[in-house]
Structure 1
Amino acid sequence: MPPYTIVYFPVRGRCEAMRMLLADQGQSWKEEVVTKETWLQGPLKDSCLYGQLPKFQDGDLTLYQSNAILRHLGRTLGLYGKDQREAALVDVVNDGVEDLRCKYITLVYTNYEAGKKEYVKALPGHLKPFETLLSQNQGGQAFIMGDQISFVDYNLLDLLLIHQVLAPGCLDSLPLLSAYVARLSARPKLKAFLASPEHMNRPINGNGKQAFNPVC
């Protein structure tokens, strides 16, 4: 049996970054897909620590909260920087990714039609800090932090890919980020995952807004 199990809805949502991480690191995992009907019945929801998914199983360890799961995989698989200093900086980047993801989620689920134009207009400013971080690390030719991939690279890549669906030209003014997406997406195992039917056919969100990614 695979050592990991992802329990989540049939969307990319908050789990695609961990799927990308596991695929790129050559790890196997099991999916337990939760339908809307099953969730609304209540028992699974009531059993979850915070009443929400994802739920993640690592053997007999049960975890909730997507960022906690990513950090756990980072520690377990050696994807958390090479020392405590880099680990702290990785956390800083991940919190920045979370801030932007929350803005995106708010748009998609509460204000998509009325708010998309203003959101896209402000997007370069929200992405600029990540361009700056790349410029400060080996001239933007490596990873977002340090000289080896970390869990936050997968989280950031996922966020950038879904924004390229929302606003296809959003990285045009950010050449380091644009090259970063291309470079990470070309990693052989990650490239295979991004081209897989499982990824391609999985909606990004649960409400049909920006449902599929035609570029992967």
Structure 2
Amino acid sequence: MRMLLADQGLDWKEDVVTFDTWLQGDLKRDTVFGQLPGFKDGDVTLYQSNAILRHLARNHGLYGKTPCEATKIDMVNDGVEDLRVKYLRMIYQNYDNGKDDYIKALPTELGHFERLLAANNGGKGFVVGDQISFVDYNLVDLLRTHLVLAPDCLSGFPLLSAYVSRISSRPKIEAFLNTDAHKSRPINGNGKQ
């Protein structure tokens, strides 16, 4: 979300919720599903990361040019989320015993995205269509997280590697990624990476 907001030149105010505040329970009780993030846009308050991403995408032209592109974006985003769930299970439930096996299985997972990228303009642009979409931000965010976990994970995937560099070097994204606020934000709530 932050990369999308930054890249689109949108202003936002972030209220960081401390763990102690969350444990008090008042905020948790007020959320729709008892979890964060939350997002307010005028009169609309949303929870669930992907609902927020799709809301931003619809309102800022980041959901493809056609219904077919939007459907493909949804498909790729579901794949991104499938990998994110596997990553989060390993990080929060099986880090010590599961990290090595997770990293060994990663080439299979990343291969799907390399092939999707290759099928769209030879991998020279975006994962779907000829303009950036919300799934590009979501995929790059997840791939950047994996580069912290396994710094060489993209070495066998030249298209994905170039894609992460290309998206991350967009001027407004690069500026955001270089902020102290971004650099100091932990990747995972339990400190494991």
Which TM-score applies when normalising by structure 2? 0.99
Q: Following superposition of structure 1 onto structure 2, how do residues 41-120 of structure 1 map, counting pairs within 5 Å? A: 41-120=24-103
Alignment partner of 1:127 is 2:80:
no
Aligned twin of 1:8:
none
Structure 1 residue 113: deviation in Å?
1.0
Unpaired runs of at least 5, structure 2: none
Aligned twin of 2:145:
162
- Structure-2 separation of matches of 1:20 and 1:183: 13
Aligned twin of 2:192:
209
2:119 alignment partner AA: Q
- Structure-2 separation of matches of 1:71 and 1:132: 24
Alignment partner of 1:23 is 2:23:
no
The structure that is helix-richer by fraction is 2
- Structure-1 separation of matches of 2:26 and 2:177: 33
Aligned twin of 1:137:
120
- Structure-2 separation of matches of 1:160 and 1:89: 19
Partner of 2:69: helix, strand, or coil? helix
1:56 alignment partner AA: F
- Structure-2 separation of matches of 1:35 and 1:185: 28
Runs of 4 or more consecutive aligned structure 1 residues displaced over 2 Å after TM superposition: none
Structure 1 residue 142: deviation in Å?
0.5
Counterpart selection for 2:154 from 162, 171, 174: 171
Structure 1 residue 60: deviation in Å?
1.2
1:125 alignment partner AA: T
CA RMSD, Structure 1 to Structure 2 (Å)? 0.5
- Structure-1 separation of matches of 2:179 and 2:27: 29
Counterpart selection for 2:183 from 190, 197, 200: 200
- Structure-2 separation of matches of 1:195 and 1:36: 25
2:105 alignment partner AA: A
Aligned twin of 1:3:
none
Q: Deviations over 1:5-47 (max 9, x none)?
A: xxxxxxxxxxxxx000000000010011111111111111011
2:147 alignment partner AA: Q
Structure 1 residue 179: deviation in Å?
0.5
What is the number of residues matched between the two proteins?
A: 193
User: Percent same amino acid at aligned positions?
Assistant: 66
1:54 alignment partner AA: P
1:27 alignment partner AA: L
Partner of 1:34: helix, strand, or coil? coil
